[in-house]
Structure 1
Amino acid sequence: MAVTVSDLLSVLRVREGQRHVFSGESLVDGVRRIYGGQLLAQSIMAMGRTVRDAHGLHSMQGYFVHPGDVTKPLRFDVEPVRDGRSFSTRRVVVTQAARVVFMGAASFQAAEGCHERLPATPDVPPPDHMPAEAEFFAREAHLLERRRSHVSTIMQLFERRSEMWRPWLDPGVTAPVNGLWCRLREPCGDDPLLCHAVLAYACDLDLMTTAMRPRGHGTMDRRTRSASLDHAMWFHAPVRPDAWFYYDMTGPCASNNRGLGAGALYQDGRRVGTAMQEGLMRVIEDEAQ
């Protein structure tokens, strides 16, 4: 099912009904379960809409509690925890029909100080020297019809290039290392809050799969069941998700069917963000033993 950047931006702009209570819908892309990055991005927008303009988002974290249903409306209840001169703190609980699907928190800060130390972009080839996602997976494109996946939506919304693509089926055991160039296919404007929300949307997909690479299962492997458990991000500098940024990922550790993914985001030669996520992967064969 085709989705556009306009569809994404419309979904992310949640609507305030009562004070500090927002409503939203989901992208309908053929997958019944809500994509976790959507909940991250919408929560950022809801919490950010309740703070003063001078306070910019610098960190957020959250937990995916229950699978969300794309056919049902979302309610975002934002709690103002603190409104200080320098910092504002918010909590959010996202529900569908009174069932909690996500809960999170975010911190916002007024700009201050002049000291800045941001690591440089890793020494990797530019995006036009790396294989495009659609080109690499052309031989497996039929799998997107057989097993509905949010991968299809990401491919429609973002242009992505990497030297580390691996097949969706039977990729084999590889190191928990990944890296890709990414940019939104159409402009999204210069609203800092929306730009950070779009960045969070893009960053949800690959962290868990990177951490699980040593297990040897591909994204479309029917023997696996996976889900994001939690997600945290830190925003170090302004970013434009409609311009190329590099996402450098590793999977530091795994245990109890959980894998931890860590990602660093770079744009214009410097680090602009950090993301971490823990995800769950169960293998049906393992469960039967």
Structure 2
Amino acid sequence: MLEVTKKLVELLYLSPNGDDHYRGDSQDLGFPHVFGGQVLGQALMAASHTVEGRLCHSMHAYFLRPGNQHMPIDYEVQRVRDGRSFAVRRVIARQDGKEILTGSMSFHATEEGFEHQAEMPDAPDPETLRSEQEWGKLMASQVPEKLREIMTRDRPIEIRPVNPMNPLQPEKRPPHKQSWIRALGSLPDDPVLHRCLLTYASDFSFLGTSLNPHGVSFMNKGLQIASLDHAIWFHRDFRMEDWLLYDKDSPSASSGRGFNRGNFFNQDGVLVASTTQEALIRQR
């Protein structure tokens, strides 16, 4: 396992901190606050620690406050229900006694049933694309030093965008984005970890889909952006070392909020997970 991936795995495997409480460290990715995907992934791991024989099939969470990346996070798990097929958990993430995220997760025992799925959209092969890190190195001389470090740093999740936009010169485009993602290096055979890693990765470049039609990027002055909520559904098994296509669209933006949807497909065209997110996209 690569060192940078090992650090992310260690970040997601939380330490017990009392009955149904877990402690997670925070990672500085160069953003003003804790990366939302980190809190989502850790919250799912905390809930999963309290469930046996079932895997998460859906998660719905609200971001309540920005997280401080220099402080640990306490995750309190509440055992809402344990049924014959399903179990439900509520998770509250706190820093300094204040809630920064609340979410609910549902877990389901494996069973057979009806099968259908949406078709995988067309997308170029990931091996023909540059990674975000490579694009960052090409643009490094044009951005401030602090941003340069963020754009060129080594990362455990490799993202290869399809038709990437120059954030320094944003242009109006349809509300649709695609990227291929995978975790670098080998990973343990732990389906819980793979779900937590996908939850972590699903927050990257998601809210930007709703910015596409407006010709702005995260680098525009006077633009306030933040994830407000996040939901993810796991449909089928997958491995994060394998390439997954993240196909995203934004059917609506209004009242300073942008709504985003996403689907994850493996290279065989199998739909493995779906996401939604509403984000604050406020022009000051």
TM class by shorter chain equals over 0.9
Partner of 1:102: 101
Partner of 1:277: 277
Quick check: 1:138 aligned with 2:137? yes
Instruction: Assess, with a 3 A threshold, how the Cα gap between structure 1 residues 269 and 93 changes in structure 2: closer, same or farther.
Output: same
Please give the residue correspondences for 1:28-43 in structure 2 after superposition, counting only pairs within 5 Å.
28-43=28-43
User: 2:242 and 2:250 mapped to 1: Cα distance?
Assistant: 26
Q: Counterpart amino acid of 2:112?
A: G
- The number of aligned residues is 280
Offset of 1:148 from its aligned partner? 7.7
Quick check: 1:196 aligned with 2:170? no
Partner of 2:214: 215
Quick check: 1:163 aligned with 2:145? no
Q: Counterpart amino acid of 2:265?
A: Y
Offset of 1:202 from its aligned partner? 0.6
Instruction: Assess, with a 3 A threshold, how the Cα gap between structure 1 residues 151 and 39 changes in structure 2: closer, same or farther.
Output: farther
Instruction: Assess, with a 3 A threshold, how the Cα gap between structure 1 residues 167 and 74 changes in structure 2: closer, same or farther.
Output: same
Offset of 1:161 from its aligned partner? 1.9
Structure 1: 5+ residue runs without aligned partners?
none
Offset of 1:138 from its aligned partner? 3.1
Partner of 1:24: 24
Q: Is the CA contact (8 Å cut-off) linking 2:134 and 2:152 kept in structure 1?
A: no
Q: Is the CA contact (8 Å cut-off) linking 1:224 and 1:282 kept in structure 2?
A: yes
User: 1:281 and 1:149 mapped to 2: Cα distance?
Assistant: 25
User: 1:108 and 1:56 mapped to 2: Cα distance?
Assistant: 5
Q: Is the CA contact (8 Å cut-off) linking 1:160 and 1:180 kept in structure 2?
A: yes
Q: Percent identity?
A: 34
Offset of 1:150 from its aligned partner? 6.4
Higher mean Cα deviation, 104-113 or 218-227? 218-227
Instruction: Assess, with a 3 A threshold, how the Cα gap between structure 1 residues 152 and 273 changes in structure 2: closer, same or farther.
Output: farther
Partner of 2:225: 226
SS state of the match for residue 156, structure 1?
coil
Instruction: Provide Cα deviations, 1:36-86, integer angstroms capped at 9, x if missing partner.
Output: 00010000000011011x211100010000000011111001000001110
Instruction: Assess, with a 3 A threshold, how the Cα gap between structure 1 residues 247 and 151 changes in structure 2: closer, same or farther.
Output: farther
Cα-Cα RMSD: 1.9
User: 2:263 and 2:47 mapped to 1: Cα distance?
Assistant: 24
Q: Is the CA contact (8 Å cut-off) linking 1:55 and 1:108 kept in structure 2?
A: yes
Q: Counterpart amino acid of 1:194?
A: L
Quick check: 1:177 aligned with 2:138? no
Q: Give TM-score scaled by structure 2 length.
A: 0.92
User: 1:132 and 1:11 mapped to 2: Cα distance?
Assistant: 23
Q: Is the CA contact (8 Å cut-off) linking 1:42 and 1:197 kept in structure 2?
A: yes
User: 1:144 and 1:56 mapped to 2: Cα distance?
Assistant: 43
User: 2:241 and 2:158 mapped to 1: Cα distance?
Assistant: 9
Please give the residue correspondences for 1:60-79 in structure 2 after superposition, counting only pairs within 5 Å.
60-79=59-78
Partner of 2:44: 44
